[in-house]
Amino acid sequence: MSGAGSPPGEACRADGGHCVTCSDEALPMDVLEVDTATGLAACRGDGGGRRTVETALLAGVAPGDRVLVHADVAIAHAAEGTAA
Q: Walk me through the domains of the chain, giving residue ranges and CATH numbers.
A: 26-77 (2.30.30.140)
CB-based contacts of 51, cutoff 8 Å, min separation 6: 29, 42, 43, 44, 45, 69, 72
3-state SS class at 3: coil
Provide DSSP, 6-21.
PPTTGGGGTTTSB-TT
pTM, entire model: 0.70
List CB contacts of 18: < 8 A, sequence separation 6 or more: 12, 24, 25
pLDDT at 6 over 90: no
Per-residue model confidence as pLDDT tens digits over 11-38: 444 445 556 566 667 889 999 999 999 9
Instruction: Give residue-wise pLDDT tens across range 31-62.
Output: 999 999 999 999 999 999 999 999 999 999 99
Model pLDDT, residue 15 = 47
